[in-house]
């Protein structure tokens, strides 16, 4: 799961005029992976290249208790909730951001082969849709496209920025799916992932600054 993780961000950004901006919610959507690749850079969490790991993703994510356990993801969600609520002085916004963070674990459970945990210890969990590209790929596109359509329908503003964001998301997803697989795990791979998150977050922040929440009846609110 890559761009599918941003589906909850699009939905949360469009549910209320008190929602956090889209850029903030893009950070929340991939906060668990931001942390994972940052921790992998310093050797705290670990992965290795293994072509037999799954059909779609040749990575054995064998040690990630602090980010991809349900308890670990929940701790990151609570931290995000607290930061956003304090920053925006709005508990509702913080709760939305926290829910987007913890959605990451649920979406990963759908596609990961068993490598997720509840508390960092076995049993390892995962439905394993990465072994079924004909299901996993359309599912990711449907999640993303449906959430994007919801966001555009529920907000007002120029359509150009959201379309640019969507195009870049699809381009990076195509690279993720179809580019040659890495030969080994290491800093270059981790920094590539962090760069992709940074690019999409910057574009989402740009989109969020140019969209406004729209209630039924056509009234628009500039304060999301």
- β-sheet bridge partners, residue 220: 214
Task: Kindly report, residue by residue over 38-74, the tens digit of the pLDDT.
Answer: 999 999 999 999 999 999 999 999 999 999 999 999 9
Q: What is the pLDDT of residues 151-209, one digit of tens each?
A: 999 999 999 999 999 999 999 999 999 999 898 999 999 999 999 999 999 999 999 99
Model confidence pLDDT, tens digit, residues 91-133: 999 999 999 999 999 999 999 999 999 999 999 999 999 999 9
Give residue for tokens 């076995």: 122
User: Which residues, listed in sequence order, are joined to residue 213 by a DSSP beta bridge?
Assistant: 155, 221
Tokens of 14: 């469009």
The reported pTM is: 0.94
Q: Whole-angstrom Cα distance, residue 113 to residue 129?
A: 7
**Which of 64, 37, 63, 30 lies closest to 191 in space, CA to CA?**
37
Q: Residue ranges per domain, the chain?
A: 3-45+64-105+133-210
């Amino acid at each position: 799961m890559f761009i599918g993780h941003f589906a909850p961000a699009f939905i949360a950004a469009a549910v209320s005029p008190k929602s956090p901006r889209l850029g903030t919610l893009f950070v929340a959507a991939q906060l668990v992976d931001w942390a994972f690749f940052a921790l992998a850079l310093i050797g705290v969490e670990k992965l290795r290249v293994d072509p037999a790991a799954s059909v779609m993703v040749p990575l054995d994510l064998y040690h990630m208790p602090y980010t991809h356990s349900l308890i670990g993801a929940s701790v990151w969600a609570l931290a995000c909730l607290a930061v956003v609520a304090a920053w925006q002085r709005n508990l509702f916004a913080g709760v939305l951001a926290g829910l987007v963070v913890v959605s990451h674990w649920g979406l990963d459970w759908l596609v990961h082969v068993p490598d997720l945990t509840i508390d960092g210890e076995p049993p390892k969990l995962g439905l394993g849709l990465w072994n079924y590209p004909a299901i996993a790929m359309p599912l990711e596109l449907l999640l993303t496209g449906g959430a994007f359509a919801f966001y555009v329908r529920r907000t007002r503003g120029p359509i150009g920025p959201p379309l640019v964001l969507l195009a870049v998301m699809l381009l990076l997803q195509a690279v993720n799916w179809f580019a040659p697989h890495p030969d080994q795990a290491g800093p270059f791979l981790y920094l590539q992932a962090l760069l992709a998150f940074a690019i999409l977050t910057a574009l989402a922040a740009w989109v969020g600054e140019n969209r406004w929440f729209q209630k039924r009846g056509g009234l628009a609110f500039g304060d999301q």
